[in-house]
Amino acid sequence: MRALLALAVCGVLIGCAEPKCGGSDLKYYDQALAYQLGKRGIRADVRNHGMVCVDGRHATEFDAAVREADRYFHEIADLLKDECEERAFVQWATREKLRFDVRGTTSGKRMFLLRSFNAEEVASNRQRLTRDAPKGMTCPAKS
């Protein structure tokens, strides 16, 4: 009888469920995940190093938010030719207040990534990268 009472109290307080946490060290991923959770009306606790947590009762919604964030977050990228083009892209994206990151690839090249949180941002970022990015700003040839 005591076990049933304890279980009932635990269920009422919802304090027994461990928090559901996840995330990534990728720049802005925590914000993308918090955005997706917010769309579902779930408050996220964004912690250090990209960790995002919700109350354990929202574990299913958390997993759905991760899938939705992943659907848009990695969508827009461009391979950079050299450090001069990288510098031009970074200056442009900073000036435009875009969410971006530059990361190395397995081939040793550098990749410019525009981070999107939803379908509208993917479309807008794709257009910006195609139309406005300073493509072709390469370093002068050394003689």
Both 49 and 62 in one domain: the answer is: yes
Average pLDDT over residues 11-27: 78
Burial of 71 (0-12, 13-18, 19+ CB in 10 A): middle
**Would residue 120 count as lying in a domain?**
yes
Task: Determine if the pTM surpasses 0.75.
Answer: yes
Position 68 scores a pLDDT of 96
Percent of the chain scoring above 70 in pLDDT: 87
| CATH value at residue 54 | 3.30.70
Parent domain of 125:
74-131
pLDDT at position 10 over 50: no
Q: Which amino acid is at 91?
A: Q
Contacts of 114 (CB under 8 A, 6+ apart): 76, 77, 93, 98, 99, 100, 125, 128, 129
pLDDT in tens, 79-100: 999 999 999 999 999 999 999 9
pLDDT at position 73 over 90: yes
Both 51 and 79 in one domain: the answer is: no
